[in-house]
Amino acid sequence: MQEILLIGFYQPDEPLTRFLEAAQQEFNLPIRYLQEFVPLGTGGGLYHFRDQILAGGPEAFFVLNADVCSDFPLSAMLDAYRHQPHPFLLLGTTANRTQSLNYGCIVENPQTHEVLHYVEKPSTFVSDVINCGIYLFSPEALKPLRDVFQRNQQDGQLCLPLGEDSSGLWPGAGTIRLEQDVFSALAGQGQIYVHLTDGIWSQIKSAGSALYASRLYLGQYQLTHPERLAKHAPGGPRIRGNVYIHPTAKVAPSAVLGPNVSIGEGVTVGEGVRLRESIVLHGAMLQEHTCVLHTIVGWGSTVGRWARVEGTPNDPNPNDPRAHMDSESLFKDGKLLPAITILGCRVRIPAEVLILNSIVLPHKELSRSFTNQIIL
């Protein structure tokens, strides 16, 4: 790996800069953030920054959507690419018939693994093989993106009002939808292939899916990095299932943690706390005898003694036909539908209150209980 490029539309800020500097030191690789001048879609940024991507003459380059978790079988994908080079190699996994409609669906040749047909979020069942949003492209993959850009430019100029100056670039020409404009168009032409994986994978499009992703990663640690997981020991907190505790966190010995719990840097967990299916971010404090279930606790937040903060599981499992997808409505009859509870940064929850299925925005200091609400 020669370099890592992050492409996005968001204005870079100090936390992002600190993250990039720390990541460069950790991985000993140059890492740069490239900011789009306007949102360019899932493929437009690749074409816009093509010179930076191809600098140094890479053999190929990985393209990873930022909203997925996976064990990322990049070495296996590279081996498959070198065995049978093609412009586009997609990572695919399987989903049940119901959930496949929420993803890009791939019809492959089972012998050659060529992508014969591709449909993004079809209205009817197409295939149980779905797109993971993890790709390996050859430098030649940028040529179809150029063709889409030029076609967009021509179409945009045709749509200009009569007499208007059509010189220069049409602003919308750079917006390229990788899935619809490229994959769907090129499927069946011998350019796109799929590499199937049975490893862990999930989209992360909501706080609920972040908890599900945490569960997948903690389970993966059990296989690959068991030293990262907390162990139950005499005189220490009771550990149930897979739990991560940052070395700087202070956890009382009478606390009960797990399964699927991740405790960040500098967190304080008091006596008698029950913590399950939750993420507690850095600097948060859970005072004595609090109960936190199916919740993300923002950094610097405080949950008072004997308070209960609870949410409802919301797992985007592509193989669970009852899984809640992000496209469904958040509200019904003016009430927030049951989902995990989110405490923003530096929220203060007083003692002996209940926060259920709610979202608390940052810097709020509550005085009473709330259920199924967004607390502004």
pLDDT at residue number 276: 97
Note the pLDDT of residue 35: 96
Mean pLDDT of 118-132: 96
Backbone angles phi, psi at 52, to 5 degrees: -65, -40
Please give the residue that has the higher pLDDT: either 172 or 93.
93
> What is the mean predicted confidence (pLDDT) over 156-185?
69
CA distances from 108 to 128, 134, 138, 174, 257 (A): 11, 17, 20, 29, 44
**What distance in Å separates the CA atoms of residue 360 and residue 22, rounded to the nearest whole number?**
30
For residues 267-271, give the mean pLDDT: 98
pLDDT one-digit tens code per residue, 31-56 = 999 999 999 999 999 999 999 999 99
Confidence at residue 22, expressed as pLDDT on a 0 to 100 scale = 95
- Contact present, 53 and 5 (Cβ < 8 Å): yes
Residue 165: pLDDT above 50?
no
pLDDT of residue 232: 86
Report how far residue 310's alpha carbon sits from residue 85's, in angstroms, rounded to the nearest whole number.
Answer: 50
Mean pLDDT value across residues 361-366: 96
Is the pLDDT assigned to residue 91 strictly greater than 90? yes
CA distance 114 to 86: 10
- What lies within 8 Å, CB to CB, of 159 at 6+ separation is none
Residue 331's pLDDT band, with cuts at 50, 70 and 90, is: confident
Res. 162 pLDDT band, cuts 50 70 90: very low
Q: Report the predicted TM-score, pTM, of the whole model to 2 decimal places.
A: 0.88
DSSP 258: -
Contact 68, 173 (CB under 8 A): no
CATH of span 36-203:
3.90.550.10
The pLDDT-based confidence of 328 (bands split at 50, 70, 90) is low
* Identical topology for domains 36-203 and 207-371: no
User: In the prediction, which pLDDT does 324 show?
Assistant: 67
pLDDT for 357 equals 92
pLDDT confidence of 166, banded at 50, 70, 90?
very low
What is the torsional sign of CA 186, 188, 189, 193? positive
CA distances from 78 to 56, 110, 137, 192 (A): 18, 19, 10, 15
**Which pLDDT does position 159 carry in this prediction?**
56
- What share of the chain has pLDDT > 70, as a percent? 94
**CA-CA distance, 113 to 84, in Å (whole number)?**
10
- Residues 236 and 182: their CA atoms lie apart, in Å, by 55
pLDDT(326) > 70: no
**CATH placement of domain 207-371:** 2.160.10.10
Residue 158 has pLDDT above 90, yes or no: no
Which residue would you say has higher pLDDT here, 164 or 369? 369
pLDDT of residue 163: 47
Domain boundaries, the chain: 36-203, 207-371
Average pLDDT estimate for 215-223: 95
State mean pLDDT over 112-129. Answer: 96
Instruction: Give me the residues paired with residue 31 across strands.
Output: 4
When pLDDT is averaged across residues 218-237 and rounded to a whole number, the result is 93
Both tokens assigned to 238: 């009771």
Residue % of the chain over a pLDDT of 90: 80
Task: Determine the pLDDT at residue 156.
Answer: 66
Is residue 161 predicted with pLDDT exceeding 60?
Answer: no
Which pair of structure tokens corresponds to residue 278? 């939750």
pLDDT, averaged across the chain: 91
